[in-house]
Amino acid sequence: MVEGGTVVSTEGRVRADVVVAGEKILALVAPGAAAGLLVPGAARVAAEGRLVLPGGVDVHTHLDMPLGELRSADDFARGTEAAALGGTTSVVDFAVQARGGGPLAGLAEWRARAEGRAVVDYGFHAILSEPGEDALAELPSLVSEGVSSVKVFTAYPGRLYADDGRILRTMQVAADHGVLCMVHAENGIAIDVLVSQALARGEVTAAAHAATRPVVLEAEATHRAICLARVARCPLYVVHLSSAEALAAVRRARRLGQPVLAETCPQYLWLDEALLGGSDGERFVCSPPLRGARHRRALWQGIARGDLQTVATDHCPFCLADRQRWARIDFSRIPNGLPGIEHRLDLLHQGVVSGLIGLERMVELAATTPAKLFGLWPAKGSLLPGADADLVVYDPGRRHELSARTHHMAVEYSAYEGMEVTGAVETVVSRGEVVVGAGRYVGRAGRGRYLARPAGTVGWPEDPGAVGDDDDDR
């Protein structure tokens, strides 16, 4: 039982005891009223003066991911340990279709990487690196295996890029099977031209990374993905949205009634593109790139008014030595991705401390809405009776510094080095088992379970008139 804390949900806050029976939440009761419900010998966690939150659901991670000769630094054991320490009790990672192979084989490979290693529960999206008809024919089987979301790319020609025809076909087949289509929206063909031109001018440092991936090419690709989804009548989820202009495209589509969903990431809420121009700029290379203050303000506004539905991490860390080695050649060789799986809740809480969002909105972004969108609700993302006993005891007043000296991710640096934050994870319970106590990891690798997710969680409006036709654009 978790005693005496303030339970926070999307509906509000209430001081209550959370009674746990086995792996499930049995009841929320008034403080001190649980005597007849307690299981003999059950552990008791004191939460007086603390917040009690649903366990976080991070729906965008890249653990143990190969990239050419490299591999992301955190495997499923280390990465999910760091997730737990940051208050995340479920992750949805990406199983990658190998070129020349199929998405089912990719799923089998990623499940093997996670099984026996993950500390918290885990599921998978399928990345379609070659979304042709053979791959699309496997979608029904993916759904039967519990994968109800696929991801395609308008970026990275020659590796992950799909043209508009293939994206449209993916969306059509996804819509037929109730599968949510996720899109990495940057115009990769145009970006490659800008990269080649920058290198020809001798611009080789990390500062050129942002210059060659301008806002307009994210906005264009976002708008294009929205148009294709509209033609296919397929719900769309835009990953790691970073700019005001891309957000405006999402906002407009949602005003027209189109089911377009979007996430952003903590790095786009707190870090500035100027970091790429520093002497250690290679540490901050991610795609889309970091942006300026105008975009950070727009993203916080979009979060506050509901235009952005989730905040995920896009956790994809590469060791500093690998970043530096490739940076010595040129910026285009630097492996993309930032570490962040451990700090999402603390960074979102800074939005609460700053008055940008409320605690209830923080819970929506970090737990409840991602669980709902990706077929995990109500077992995950809630503290309702019958839900999995995934919860976080959070001290909202404790101050601490984010640093590589103290984090538990495998990388040797922190993207937020020296940032002082208010609020800290104290206790984390995953399916009734304490995995973090007094801020220290006490879990065990391999206890995490695979999360099969049903299709059809997000649908297209039944009424065709709910989505504006061409006349609405005049």
CATH number of the domain at 294, please.
3.20.20.140
**pLDDT value at residue 34:** 78
> Does residue 48 fall inside a structural domain?
no
Please say whether the beta carbons of 113 and 76 come within 8 A.
yes
Rounded average pLDDT over 68-87: 96
Res. 469: pLDDT tops 80: no
Burial level of 343, CB count in 10 A (0-12/13-18/19+)? buried
Q: Which helix (H) or strand (E) segment is 199 a member of?
A: helix 188-200
Answer whether residue 359 is part of any domain.
yes
Give the tens place of pLDDT for each residue, 194-247.
999 999 999 999 999 999 999 999 999 999 999 999 999 999 999 999 999 999
**Quick one: pLDDT at residue 474?**
33
Q: What is the pLDDT of residue 473?
A: 40
User: Is residue 412's pLDDT more than 90?
Assistant: yes
Q: What is the band of 389 on the pLDDT scale with cuts at 50, 70, 90? A: very high
| 440, HSE (Cβ side, Cα atoms, 13 Å) | 2
In a domain, 146, yes or no: yes
What pLDDT does 37 receive? 78
173 part of a folded domain: yes
Dihedral sign, Cα of residue 324, residue 329, residue 335, residue 338: positive
Convert the pLDDT of each residue in 14-73 to its tens digit.
Answer: 999 999 999 999 999 999 887 767 766 678 899 999 999 999 999 999 999 999 899 999
Beta-sheet strands, E only, within 299-449:
310-311, 391-401, 420-430, 433-437, 440-441
Q: What is the mean pLDDT of residues 80-107?
A: 97
Q: Give the pLDDT score at 471.
A: 44
Decide if pLDDT at 470 tops 60: no
How much is the pLDDT for 279? Answer: 95
The predicted model gives 403-423 an average pLDDT of 97
**Pick from 338, 359, 337: which is nearest to 350 by CA?**
359
Backbone phi, psi, residue 375, to 5°: 75, 25
pLDDT for residue 464 is more than 70: no
Query: For residue range 340-364, what is the model confidence (pLDDT) as tens digits?
Result: 999 999 999 999 999 999 999 999 9
Indicate whether 466 pLDDT > 90: no
Position 465 scores a pLDDT of 58
The DSSP call for residue 344 is H
List pLDDT tens digits, range 98-120. 999 999 999 999 999 999 999 99
Question: Which residue segment(s) compose the domain that 99 sits in?
Answer: 55-373
DSSP strand pairing (51-54 vs 391-401) = antiparallel
**Residue 384 placed within a domain:** no
* Structural contact between residues 118 and 88, judged by C-beta atoms closer than 8 angstroms: no
Has residue 255 been placed in a domain? yes
How does the average pLDDT of the chain come out, rounded?
Answer: 96
Per-residue pLDDT at 468: 58
Helices of type H across 29-98:
76-85
Other beta carbons less than 10 A from residue 294's beta carbon: 11
DSSP summary character for residue 354? T
Q: How many domains does the chain have?
A: 1
Task: Using pLDDT thresholds of 50, 70 and 90, give the confidence band for residue 305.
Answer: very high
Whether residue 419 is contained in a domain is answered as no
Q: Mean per-residue pLDDT for 168-177?
A: 98
d(CA 129, CA 176) in angstroms, rounded, equals: 20
- What is the DSSP code (8-state) at residue 388? B
Share of the chain above pLDDT 70, in %: 97
Does 276 score more than 50 pLDDT?
Answer: yes
Average pLDDT over residues 310-317: 97
pLDDT above 80: residue 285: yes
Is residue 411 one of the residues assigned to a domain? no
